[in-house]
Amino acid sequence: DTAVSQTPKYLVTQMGNDKSIKCEQNLGHDTMYWYKQDSKKFLKIMFSYNNKELIINETVPNRFSPKSPDKAHLNLHINSLELGDSAVYFCASSLRHGSSTDTQYFGPGTRLTVL
Amino acid sequence: QKEVEQNSGPLSVPEGAIASLNCTYSDRGSQSFFWYRQYSGKSPELIMFIYSNGDKEDGRFTAQLNKASQYVSLLIRDSQPSDSATYLCAVRVYAGNNRKLIWGLGTSLAVNP
């Protein structure tokens, strides 16, 4: 059973295109996250949703728009893709973000390459 | 700017030795500390977390926390070649009314047979 799943696994596209990445978790968790891991392997949070409500919105270009239709799903839409958007995007989920020991579980990642 | 720092390595140890991975953090208000392992091309997976000063053991892994020194470490006993990976330290900090993880860049560990 896949706990946190993402689609697609790989995404290769041209500059200027619009693309979406989907994430689903079957753990019954309340909180979901989007992370970006760049070529230097630095993992940085982009957004976090708790029960469909946006709770963390880091300094991310507004070309990135997350959407959470329900607490088991968190999608990421990216408009007007740029070369610098090339990275691995990870979705994660956790039981309840308010607990200091709340643990995050990661999806397999989506490797986005912008040409 | 809240930061988490790790030595990028690579740290190379022989099979069966103890690997020691270190992490320092800047935010004194940090509450809890996590160690994740990431194999090349894979996603981070949790090894363990710690939130009280002292040691916490889980199998071959021991996490050590010293809040006064703002220092957390991970010891891997009887290192195996399968332990070769990047080890990420993450620190939970307050972000307004919420909390988020700040991540280090990771330490690359190579265990040589």
With beta carbons under 8 A apart, name residues in chain B contacting A98: 98-99
Which pLDDT belongs to residue A102?
Answer: 86
Residue B19: φ, ψ to 5°? -100, 135
Which helix H or strand E contains B110, and what residues bound it?
A: strand B107-112
Which pLDDT belongs to residue B98?
Answer: 81
Q: Which of A42, A45, A107 sits opposite B101 (nearest CB)?
A: A45
With beta carbons under 8 A apart, name residues in chain B contacting A45: 100-101
Residue among A39, A54, A5, A68 at smallest CA distance from B100? A54
User: Which has more confidence, B33 or B99?
Assistant: B33
Which pLDDT belongs to residue A20?
Answer: 98
Which pLDDT belongs to residue A1?
Answer: 64
Which helix H or strand E contains B99, and what residues bound it?
A: strand B98-103
Nearest residue of A to residue B90, measured between CA atoms: A43
Q: Does A55 contact B86 at a Cβ distance shorter than 8 Å? A: no
CA angle, B42 as apex, A42 and B15 as ends, to 5°? Answer: 95
In angstroms, rounded to a whole number, what is the distance separating the alpha carbons of residues B86 and B8? 9
Which pLDDT belongs to residue B97?
Answer: 78
What averages of pLDDT result for each successive group of 10 residues across chain A (115 residues)? 90 97 96 93 92 89 94 96 97 86 93 97
pLDDT digit string, tens, across residues B39-96: 999 999 999 999 999 999 999 999 999 999 999 999 999 999 999 999 999 999 887 7
Q: Which of B44, B88, B99 sits opposite A97 (nearest CB)?
A: B99
